[in-house]
Amino acid sequence: MSKGAVEHVVLIGFDGFDDDYVGRVPTPNLDALAARGSRGTTLAPAQSITNPSFSSLVSGAWPATTGNVAYIFDREAESYRGQSRDIAVPTIAEAVRDSGKTVGSAQYFILQNHGATYGDPEALYTQPGGPCARRFDDAIAMLVQRPVNSGGTEVTVPQTPTLFAVYCDTLDSIDHREGPSSPEIDAGLAEVDTQIGRLVEALERNGLSDKTAIVLTGDHGMTGHDRTFGDELLEELADRGLTGQYLPAGGALAPDTDVVLTSAGGAANAYLVGEVGGSKEPLRTVRAAAEATEGTAEILDRRDQRRLDMDSRVGDLVIQTAPGYAASTGVIETPQDGHHGSTHERDTAFFIAGAGVRDREGGSARLRHIDVAPTIAHLLGIEGPSGAEGLVRRELLN
């Protein structure tokens, strides 16, 4: 890939691409990107969950600002809340559109209705589902203005999008099913590398490689576990006179519950409710119960949460698990599962190469998720998202 003026940026999101996976198996296409630019890591939000992480990547802001939070107890509705695509601030796709340029998103889902939508040829969103190759099929089709299926309608973009984003969850699916030690991860890495090769070849074949920068990130890392700590935590609470309840999706709050717990994979969010809500002494009791529970690693209070720019709705306490444990109840049915959701899974893979990018011959880079959108905006010569809190990483750019 030669270097020229930046007319396009490809933003690639590989869900579950832990930075420890880099170099695990031969990945010639990823290596070629790194050799012409930089590779390294990008730091996810403290509660490293997919949608909040991608929200930070595309907006340049932490969850305290984006308002995207997952696996929480909604106090007002007294119900569990899972993942959403809500973002309270503009995204890089909206910044591109505001500058008069175009966007294409091949299942880069967090951009749906945040700069890309079904049926709009100048801000097109598609969601083909299926394997990683289908998402790259759509991305390559948009690159060369071939029609794609967008919500049931065939749409052709009028020109190669200024920003085109593509999302793939191959690694994450294996991670959750078999854990990060699974040999299937090796096959997954080979597959995502193949898709990168297809995209780069399409750019070169169509004379776009010297005008295009490629930015590739993971969203969160992954930790393996074969045990849970939830049942023991409930017992420790009961021993101290508090009734705890793990609240799943669709679950109803029991009238005698003192402590609501929601599992974010590698962390349990704990909420005081009912008569003990807002009281300091019961909160100390919850902390003591968590400290006595095998598998607890750290406990984040409100001060810690503010320091980590977490959304204020994550819980009165966030109880993080030690490696090998998950913040849920029950028995692990497979030899090992994988999870994320704590500060232990913040480091994810990062690659940048192409037009406007400094050739650092694979030099190491360490970014934060919130630096990605401002850096893309700078590459394209446009104003970044207005709510961005991150920095333009000029040391990576020409």
Distances from the Cα of 192 to the Cα of 26, 31, 54, 300, 349, angstroms: 12, 12, 18, 35, 13
Question: What's the mean pLDDT when you consider all of the chain?
Answer: 95
- Whether the per-residue pLDDT at 1 is higher than 60: the answer is no
Q: Tell me the average pLDDT across 201-223.
A: 97
Residues 313 and 348 grouped into a single domain: no
Three-state DSSP class for 92? helix
Q: Tell me the average pLDDT across 335-342.
A: 88
Residues 233 and 185 grouped into a single domain: no
- What is the torsional sign of CA 166, 55, 270, 324? positive
Residue 2 forms part of a structural domain: no
Residue 1 forms part of a structural domain: no
Confidence of residue 2 (pLDDT cuts 50, 70, 90): very low
Residue 3 forms part of a structural domain: no
Residues 218 and 229 grouped into a single domain: no
Is the entire prediction scored with pTM above 0.85? yes
pLDDT of residue 5: 73
Which residues have C-beta within 8 Å of that of residue 322, sequence separation ≥ 6?
295, 296, 297
Burial of residue 320 (number of CB atoms within 10 Å: 0-12, 13-18, 19+): buried
Q: What does the pLDDT look like over 121-178, one tens digit per residue?
A: 999 999 999 999 999 999 999 999 999 999 999 999 999 999 999 999 999 999 999 9
> How many domains are there within the chain?
2
Instruction: Kindly report the CATH number assigned to the domain that includes residue 256.
Output: 3.30.1360
Question: Domain residues for 169?
Answer: 8-74+83-222+342-396
Residues 117 and 198 grouped into a single domain: yes
Q: Count CA within 13 A, CB hemisphere, residue 21.
A: 36
Q: Which residue has the higher pLDDT, 5 or 317?
A: 317
pLDDT of residue 4: 52
Residues 332 and 357 grouped into a single domain: no
Residues 102 and 204 grouped into a single domain: yes
pLDDT of residue 331: 74
